[in-house]
Chains A and B, each alone.
Chain A
Amino acid sequence: MKPAAFEYIAPVTVEEALEALGGSGKDARVLGGGQSLVPMMNFRLAQPELLIDLNRISELAGIAIREDGVVRIGAMTRHRTVELSPEIRECLPLLHEAMPYIAHVQIRNRGTIGGSLAHADPAAEWPALCFALDATIVARSSSGSREIPATEFPLGILTTALEPDEIIAEVLFPHQPAGRRYGFQEISRRRGDFALTGVACTLDLNADGVVDASRIAIFGVDDIPLLSAEAVDALTGNTMTDVLAREAGRAAAAAINPRSDLHASSEYRTQLIETLVYRALKQAAGADLLKDVA
């Protein structure tokens, strides 16, 4: 199908875009990479009256590392740019690891971090990655800007804490301590499909291989990603062994009640989570995963 008619503007500054969004009196939408919005427009599931294209606003795109180690990723930064960035590879290896799982290269060349977070698909990687890394989302409107913790940003399926006159300007990732380890695992039916479910985790081990801290984000099980406190409880203070990783997987699975849909039953998703948490922890621990003493 073809999209319904709309008015189109392509401002070059954030201020112009925000003014149009807040003050047009029309049903206005911002256009990021268009990899979720345009399919909906082609199906006429979305019929905005005014489309505000953010693609010509250069200040919204790019990756910068601040002096305090915080990594700033502009909302219009493409998935592919993050995937190929040497800075991201070094400072936020979890993002580097996870990017290839988002769709296909043609979609990663166009789709953006801001669009993905604003779209808030329950099976999307970005929201879960932001949970795992404790990111902060910077929202802007004509009246100012505010910071929203990533964990408070998605409110439900395709629903976020963003006000109608706000856009995402950038996402801030706190400095990750040297030596932190990461795991990313997901299962999808076909390469590049949205995940049935997936896990993004961080893991801090002390010199004896004991877990100091961990964050385990799970996506594709509920309307929004969740952090598994149960898995973290099972891990903290214990020596990182294969058995412990399995225990954490079981703890995470016992605490969730995933949705059933066309693609997978609740039972299947629960089993996947048990296995994926285990695999993500094993991946994170790497060669330091201690053999269990019989």
Chain B
Amino acid sequence: MTRLVDIALTVNGKPVTGKVEPRRTLADFLRDDLDMTGTHVGCEHGVCGACTILVNGASMRSCLMFAVQVDGAELNTVEGLAVDGKLTPLQDAFHRHHALQCGFCTPGLLMTAEAFLKENPSPTADEVRDAISGNICRCTGYIPIVEAILDAAEQLKKTDAA
């Protein structure tokens, strides 16, 4: 067997350590080693977006990175969004707009939209469509997802102003 490598990183603000084979993808490390199955795995070649998480604040494919590469990094996954069961404005907007059906794509879409709204707090519908172009949803037809993200932008502006 190949040598195991020690890694130490931060996931959703908490320190985490692991012992991984170099070939362990980051997505599998999260799901199988940390038992954080919120991050989904659809295609394992970068196309579907279900595995999208934030690495040092930027959205990335966790299926296209190896766990050994994130030694020292800060990750955010869907598990870190709601605090004590209270949904974030983005999650709440997804809920109200029925922006999910089976939910397989949802973690990736939420993480993508989280990062996107930080960069662009007042997006147009076109900009939202562009931002989520790397996340495939086979259920909703995307319209409620775009509406939810636009709505979340409004809500976030209100809370920021308050």
List the A side residues contacting B3 at CB < 8 Å.
7
Judge whether A109 and B68 touch: CB under 8 Å. Answer: no
| A1-33 near B? 1/0 per residue, CB < 8 Å | 111111110100000000000000000000000
Q: How many residues of A contact B (CB 8 A)?
A: 31
With beta carbons under 8 angstroms apart, the residue of A7, A43, A80, A100 that contacts B45 is A43
Of B76-84, B98-106, B127-135, B147-155, which binds chain A? B127-135
- In the assembled complex, how far is the CB of residue A81 from the closest CB belonging to chain B, in whole angstroms? 10
Q: Of residues 35 to 93 in B, which have CB atoms within 8 Å of A's CB atoms? A: 44-46, 49, 52, 58-61, 63-66, 68-69
Docked pose: A43 CA to B58 CA in angstroms? 26
- In the assembled complex, how far is the CB of residue B145 from the closest CB belonging to chain A, in whole angstroms? 14
Judge whether A2 and B25 touch: CB under 8 Å. Answer: yes
Q: Of residues 114 to 134 in B, which have CB atoms within 8 Å of A's CB atoms? A: 115-116, 129-131, 133-134
Judge whether B28 and A38 touch: CB under 8 Å. Answer: no
Judge whether A110 and B64 touch: CB under 8 Å. Answer: yes
Chain B interface size band reads 20 to 34
Chain A residue with the shortest CB-CB distance to B44: A42
Question: Is A286 located at the chain interface by the 8 A CB criterion?
Answer: no
- In the assembled complex, how far is the CB of residue A8 from the closest CB belonging to chain B, in whole angstroms? 3
- In the assembled complex, how far is the CB of residue B61 from the closest CB belonging to chain A, in whole angstroms? 6
List the A side residues contacting B115 at CB < 8 Å.
105
- In the assembled complex, how far is the CB of residue A251 from the closest CB belonging to chain B, in whole angstroms? 33
Question: Is A34 located at the chain interface by the 8 A CB criterion?
Answer: yes
- In the assembled complex, how far is the CB of residue B148 from the closest CB belonging to chain A, in whole angstroms? 18
Question: Is A191 located at the chain interface by the 8 A CB criterion?
Answer: yes
Q: How many residue pairs, one in A and one in B, have C-beta atoms under 8 Å apart? A: 88
List the B side residues contacting A247 at CB < 8 Å.
none
Chain A residue with the shortest CB-CB distance to B46: A39
Docked pose: A3 CA to B133 CA in angstroms? 27
Query: Which of the listed residues B2, B25, B64 has the most CB atoms from chain A within 10 Å of its own CB?
Result: B64
List the A side residues contacting B134 at CB < 8 Å.
103-107, 192
With beta carbons under 8 angstroms apart, the residue of A2, A5, A8, A106 that contacts B59 is A106
Docked pose: A80 CA to B60 CA in angstroms? 12
Question: Is A159 located at the chain interface by the 8 A CB criterion?
Answer: no
Judge whether B60 and A42 touch: CB under 8 Å. Answer: no
Judge whether B64 and A35 touch: CB under 8 Å. Answer: yes
With beta carbons under 8 angstroms apart, the residue of B28, B58, B64 that contacts A2 is B28
- In the assembled complex, how far is the CB of residue A116 from the closest CB belonging to chain B, in whole angstroms? 14
Judge whether A5 and B69 touch: CB under 8 Å. Answer: no
- In the assembled complex, how far is the CB of residue A284 from the closest CB belonging to chain B, in whole angstroms? 23
- In the assembled complex, how far is the CB of residue B74 from the closest CB belonging to chain A, in whole angstroms? 14
Judge whether A1 and B44 touch: CB under 8 Å. Answer: yes
Judge whether B22 and A6 touch: CB under 8 Å. Answer: yes
Judge whether B21 and A5 touch: CB under 8 Å. Answer: yes
List the A side residues contacting B116 at CB < 8 Å.
105
Judge whether B23 and A38 touch: CB under 8 Å. Answer: no
Q: Of residues 168 to 191 in A, which have CB atoms within 8 Å of B's CB atoms? A: 190-191
- In the assembled complex, how far is the CB of residue A95 from the closest CB belonging to chain B, in whole angstroms? 18
Judge whether B59 and A105 touch: CB under 8 Å. Answer: yes
- In the assembled complex, how far is the CB of residue A103 from the closest CB belonging to chain B, in whole angstroms? 7
Question: Is B5 located at the chain interface by the 8 A CB criterion?
Answer: yes
Judge whether B112 and A106 touch: CB under 8 Å. Answer: yes
List the A side residues contacting B1 at CB < 8 Å.
5
Docked pose: A55 CA to B64 CA in angstroms? 14
| Further pairs besides A38-B64, A38-B65, A107-B64: 13, Cβ < 8 Å | A2-B23, A6-B22, A34-B66, A35-B64, A39-B46, A41-B23, A42-B44, A105-B112, A110-B60, A110-B61, A110-B64, A191-B129, A191-B133
15 contacts between A and B (CB under 8 A): A2-B25, A2-B28, A5-B2, A6-B23, A10-B68, A34-B64, A38-B64, A43-B45, A55-B69, A103-B134, A105-B116, A106-B112, A106-B134, A107-B134, A190-B133
- A residues contacting B by CB (< 8 A) are 1-8, 10, 34-35, 38-39, 41-43, 51, 53, 55, 80, 100, 103-107, 109-110, 190-192
- B residues contacting A by CB (< 8 A) are 1-3, 5, 21-23, 25, 28, 44-46, 49, 52, 58-61, 63-66, 68-69, 112, 115-116, 129-131, 133-135
